[in-house]
Structure 1
Amino acid sequence: MAYLDTYSGNWSAEKARHLLRRTSFGITPDLVAESVTLGLSATVNKLFEETPLPEPPLKYELDGTGRNEVNDPDVNYGETWVNAPIYPDLPTSQERNRVFRSRNRSLYAWSFLNMQNSGISIREKLTLFWHNHFVSENTNPHREFYYMDILRKNALGNFKELTKQITIDPNMLIYLSGNENQNNAPNENYSRELLELFTIGKGATAGSGDYTYYTEEDVVKIAKVLTGWRARWIRHEDALNAYFTDNRHTKGAKTLSHRFNNTVIAENGDEEYKDVIDLIFQQEECSRFIVRQFYRWFVTAEISDDIETNIIEPLAKTIRDNDYEIAPALKVLLSSEHFYENTYCMIKSPIDLMLSATKSLLFSAPKTTIKLEYDFAYLLYLACTDLEQSIFHHPDVAGWKAYYQEPLFYKTWVNSYTLPKRLAFCKVIVTGGELLIDKRKYRVPPLVPVLLIATKITNAENPNALVTGLASQLFNYEISQDQVDSLKEFLIQGLPDFEWTVEYSDYLANPTDLALRASVENKLRNLIGTMVQMSEFQIM
């Protein structure tokens, strides 16, 4: 049986959970049931459906309600700030910076809301993938939003086209010095990362300034190809669009090295960057390079010679055959026998972990008011940042180490600082309590609906069935009877099983009995709060 043959086993809840966990953020019993009903093929197709883009982020902070709070002059509460002027008209830089920070917080919270509310869709997972692939950083909220908007709009689409758009994105031009790249002082920052990190990879050193897939000479020549592109200062009304200045562009033909068959890039003004990207993508290694990134993101970290031959190479050919449309290759991978053999081998990223502790437990940001909804989502952002996965703020241009740094890969998410916090954060989401983030305490109420969770488990009045049902939902595989017996202690505390059966049955018969309700709820909360601290919950 070939690695990439379509999975032929029974399409079960277990297999559906594996697929949905790897391709989205957190799962619910209803999503799993929907996938089981759809079947493998229809679920994968649904993951790649083009759905409407989310509504843009909103202003959620109540101006004027706190000391020193500044009114955003261009946006009312509950409206989006995305269409407002990028440079607020305010008398002082301090007031302007407060508005910027408020919009930043809105953007970060909104990003988590999109991930949590994604349903059966791979778009948000791929948006985060591209965010980690084309790393770019800027503190201006508008530039951050429009950079991420490019990634989201192209998340399911064409790798080559996305590379072209990102190359002249103002956020990227500023981050990797493209804005400073001009004919009398070429800057090689972006051309180097374009080759090494974004498209083809460096490979082994073959000689002085010569690598497996490009040379230092190519870095210099491609930098010259890219000269002339600029981003305006944020005070300019057109600050969100890059522009080309012909007099800063290096004129004439540029000849690349033997790694690109000494191809000549003809002078082509503001279209020349597209020509060189087309040339880079003619190299077959581009397709292998991106498939390896997808493999580490969706399957597992280690890529053996066997995997290179039987997974990477055929998927790379599929990418090339489809002119760098990514969906056909990813559909093959996510439908394959190989994908369903690689389970429980990935330590959850902080974002996967925190959204598993909310969405998988039927809890989403409260929608009573926009402020409450965004406040809680922003708290998730802060928690993930504290756990060393901060969206919009990568440690460096190579992205998060979990996806490239050998030999640890995903193990980099867990260290002496982050592990206690991972465990504590998960428990607090369930039981309520205080999150300590960057020396500041945040009070979290016990909002996970544990009573509702129990009602969705068949025969929950049986403590064995309850624990195993929860384990299946949270861990996706069976736990040992010893573990079941240990976890039952949170329900019966050394008493016979029927004690829980009687108490839970009494509660179901008398749900308005507040004392009985509180007793059952507390036991469930302690049980689930313990289970999300188990090592089994940390992996997927």
Structure 2
Amino acid sequence: MPHLDKYSGNWSAKEARHLLKRTSFGVTETMVSEAVTLGLTATITKLFEEKPLPPPPLKYEPDGTGRGEINDPDVNYGETWVTAPIYPDLPTSQERNSVYRARNRSLYAWSFLQMQNANISIREKLTLFWHNHFVSENSNPHREFYYMNILRKNALGNFKELTKQITIDQNMLIYLSGNENNNSSPNENYSRELLELFTIGKGVAVGNGDYTNYTEEDVVQIAKVLTGWRARWIRHADPLNAYFTNSRHTKGNKKLSHRFNNAEISENGDQEYKDVIDVIFKQDECSRFIMRQFYIWFVNSEITSEIETNIIEPLAKITRDNNYEITPALKVLLASDHFFENVFCMIKSPLDLMISATKSLLTVAPSSSVKEEYEFAYIMYLACSDLGQSIFHHPDVAGWKAYYQEPLFYKTWVNNFFLPKRLEYCKILVAGGDLLINKKKYKVPPLVPVLAIARDITNATDPNILVKELANRLFNYEITDGQTDSLKAVLIDGLPDFEWTVEYGDYLANPSDSTLAISVDKKLRNLVAVMVQMSEFQIM
């Protein structure tokens, strides 16, 4: 029977890895060691620590008009474009669009770097959760950054407050037609998604236009409540803040259905949107709805009637008791027996996969310059997009199918089209080679420092210990003797164990011997490249 009792089992590297893999992107052995030392309670506390917002994205393409260069006169190389004019003063729209695209690339690379560099913190995982929950899209990099900044600032905070902020975010106003919603022609796009996808969920149909949690008339009335909000023109003096036009707002009171206890929203001008959101959040189903989303995101896609009763409902009550602050309930969930029982049941998202194939293996993006660091991160962004998870560009307003589409859920990441690419990309990140993305080649050097990884393993001169310890780190559980033998065959090509013991021992004794180093590096790299293509590496 599932329950939320606090985990009381053994706290070791295995449990620490499970917690960190689900709550962050890429888990290094340093993170694991720190978590083991801290213990479960202190690790949970550290995961939820409020941290300053990261410095904003930088211009990483040098000045110029050649390939890999950009003419953005308002920003110097290595400085942020976020504070620069949103409408670059350039002679042609073509030049202006080039600047926008360069800033977009910077934003996408920077977003990947935030996930890669987060360490023991749940904020980036939650930022991505909210990005997949409050789906929005806009081609303007400043508006995209501003929208994502709202999510990041509120990632560990209050669900109801975040809903209010997102409702009048310019990105969202444009994406779901709120900008066109006025008293002469109310537009229901946002009011429908506010109910169905963002706050309470539809439920099953019980009558004509009547669902379990709201009615079609509620969609109409809430659309009227939200009339009058506009997004500013990008050449305006204050282009990132929405504004309210009272003359476009539907006057008078708006009455909701029996699903909301026939609540009446009084005429309240530019504060009316807050009033209707408060009414929506008075319904207990809002707390259940968001806890189901978190459960799928962090634990498992299967929500049985027992889980609904024993996990979702108690978490929902904690959320309501805390006026929709999400942290208290999430801390209980992630510290529970139930969480630590749900292992190896989640297929890694492309972002989890790519970062676990780099950061987890001690790989860091080239950091000799801003340009190299951002270029590497942008390639990783493109790789994730090619595997079906493009930040800032969801397939539709419902988000990525892996988190809502029954019965496949996470299995959508590994269909016949994506799986071969996933395996190939993992191999290339270890062994080096060309990532072929949209018919364009991106060269990736053999970045994973396999020699350093092996040196970190005690008694790695024994190929059995080496293989099993690598498996513990990469897969987080022990492999069979048969798998060990198969992987040893990759390492030493079917030769006796002592062949590796002698060769690796000689290397450790003479690390400056380039011939030995190249030979050992090649063997280790081939081994790890095979391991990251195994099905065990695809799950967490």
Give the 5 Å matches for 1:138-157: 138-157=138-157
Verify: 1:420 aligned to 2:420, yes or no: yes
Other structure's SS at 1:50 match: coil
Q: Is the 8 A contact 2:361 2:453 kept in 1?
A: yes
Verify: 1:234 aligned to 2:241, yes or no: no
Which whole-Å CA distance do the structure 1 matches of 2:393 and 2:68 have between them? 27
Which whole-Å CA distance do the structure 2 matches of 1:238 and 1:461 have between them? 64
| Residue aligning to 1:158 | 158
Corresponding letter in the other structure for 1:404: Y
Which whole-Å CA distance do the structure 2 matches of 1:22 and 1:494 have between them? 36
Per-residue deviation at 1:524? 0.4
Verify: 1:257 aligned to 2:254, yes or no: no
Q: Which segment is superposed worse, 105-114 or 228-237?
A: 228-237
Other structure's SS at 2:206 match: strand
Which whole-Å CA distance do the structure 2 matches of 1:436 and 1:387 have between them? 12
Per-residue deviation at 1:70? 4.0
Verify: 1:281 aligned to 2:270, yes or no: no
Other structure's SS at 2:119 match: coil
Q: Is the 8 A contact 1:75 1:84 kept in 2?
A: yes
| Residue aligning to 2:77 | 77
Give me the TM-score of the superposition, normalised by structure 1.
0.99
Query: 5+ residue gaps in structure 2?
Result: none
Q: Is the 8 A contact 1:226 1:273 kept in 2?
A: yes
The percentage of aligned residue pairs carrying the same residue is: 77
Give the 5 Å matches for 1:78-97: 78-97=78-97
Per-residue deviation at 1:67? 5.0
Which whole-Å CA distance do the structure 1 matches of 2:129 and 2:166 have between them? 14
Other structure's SS at 2:288 match: helix
Query: 5+ residue gaps in structure 1?
Result: none
Q: Which segment is superposed worse, 1-10 or 154-163?
A: 1-10
Which whole-Å CA distance do the structure 2 matches of 1:484 and 1:63 have between them? 52
Q: Is the 8 A contact 2:40 2:335 kept in 1?
A: yes
Give the 5 Å matches for 1:336-347: 336-347=336-347
Other structure's SS at 1:388 match: coil
Query: Aligned pair in 2 of structure 1 residues 65, 521: CA closer, same or farther (>3 Å)?
Result: farther
Give the 5 Å matches for 1:134-533: 134-533=134-533
Per-residue deviation at 1:74? 0.5
Per-residue deviation at 1:493? 1.3
Which whole-Å CA distance do the structure 2 matches of 1:291 and 1:417 have between them? 32
Per-residue deviation at 1:68? 9.4
Which whole-Å CA distance do the structure 2 matches of 1:292 and 1:29 have between them? 31
Which whole-Å CA distance do the structure 1 matches of 2:521 and 2:8 have between them? 41
Q: Is the 8 A contact 1:47 1:121 kept in 2?
A: yes
| Residue aligning to 1:128 | 128
Deviation per residue, 1:213-252 (Å, 9 max, x gap): 0000000000000000000111212110000000000011
Verify: 1:23 aligned to 2:29, yes or no: no
| Residue aligning to 2:38 | 38
Q: Is the 8 A contact 1:85 1:237 kept in 2?
A: no
Query: Aligned pair in 2 of structure 1 residues 350, 68: CA closer, same or farther (>3 Å)?
Result: closer
Deviation per residue, 1:329-374 (Å, 9 max, x gap): 0000000000000000000000000000001100111110000000
Which whole-Å CA distance do the structure 2 matches of 1:237 and 1:506 have between them? 68
| Residue aligning to 1:53 | 53
Query: Aligned pair in 2 of structure 1 residues 389, 2: CA closer, same or farther (>3 Å)?
Result: closer
Q: Is the 8 A contact 2:61 2:69 kept in 1?
A: no
| Residue aligning to 2:64 | 64
Deviation per residue, 1:17-56 (Å, 9 max, x gap): 0000000001001100000000000000100000111110
Other structure's SS at 2:34 match: helix
Query: Aligned pair in 2 of structure 1 residues 65, 518: CA closer, same or farther (>3 Å)?
Result: farther
Which whole-Å CA distance do the structure 1 matches of 2:353 and 2:376 have between them? 16
Other structure's SS at 2:390 match: coil
Other structure's SS at 1:469 match: helix
Per-residue deviation at 1:198? 0.1
| Residue aligning to 2:535 | 535
Which whole-Å CA distance do the structure 2 matches of 1:371 and 1:315 have between them? 45
Give me the TM-score of the superposition, normalised by structure 2.
0.99
Corresponding letter in the other structure for 1:23: T
Which whole-Å CA distance do the structure 1 matches of 2:262 and 2:38 have between them? 51
Number of corresponding residues = 540
Which whole-Å CA distance do the structure 1 matches of 2:70 and 2:125 have between them? 35
Per-residue deviation at 1:416? 1.4
Q: Is the 8 A contact 1:72 1:88 kept in 2?
A: yes
Q: Is the 8 A contact 2:158 2:325 kept in 1?
A: yes
Which whole-Å CA distance do the structure 1 matches of 2:354 and 2:84 have between them? 32
Q: What's the RMSD between the two structures over aligned residues?
A: 0.9
Query: Aligned pair in 2 of structure 1 residues 2, 350: CA closer, same or farther (>3 Å)?
Result: closer
Q: Is the 8 A contact 2:62 2:70 kept in 1?
A: no
Corresponding letter in the other structure for 1:376: F
Other structure's SS at 1:64 match: coil
Which whole-Å CA distance do the structure 2 matches of 1:395 and 1:54 have between them? 28
Q: Is the 8 A contact 2:26 2:356 kept in 1?
A: yes
Other structure's SS at 2:83 match: coil
Other structure's SS at 1:66 match: coil
Other structure's SS at 1:103 match: helix
Give the 5 Å matches for 1:107-122: 107-122=107-122
Per-residue deviation at 1:69? 4.8
Verify: 1:5 aligned to 2:27, yes or no: no
Other structure's SS at 1:442 match: strand
Other structure's SS at 1:407 match: coil
Corresponding letter in the other structure for 2:272: E
Verify: 1:99 aligned to 2:108, yes or no: no
Corresponding letter in the other structure for 1:427: K
Which whole-Å CA distance do the structure 2 matches of 1:86 and 1:52 have between them? 25
Per-residue deviation at 1:491? 2.2
Deviation per residue, 1:251-298 (Å, 9 max, x gap): 110010111111110000000000000000000000000000000000
Q: Is the 8 A contact 2:287 2:320 kept in 1?
A: yes
Q: Is the 8 A contact 1:200 1:213 kept in 2?
A: yes
Which whole-Å CA distance do the structure 2 matches of 1:142 and 1:220 have between them? 32
Which whole-Å CA distance do the structure 1 matches of 2:315 and 2:415 have between them? 34
Other structure's SS at 2:235 match: coil
Which whole-Å CA distance do the structure 1 matches of 2:68 and 2:509 have between them? 53
Q: Is the 8 A contact 1:70 1:95 kept in 2?
A: no
Corresponding letter in the other structure for 2:329: A
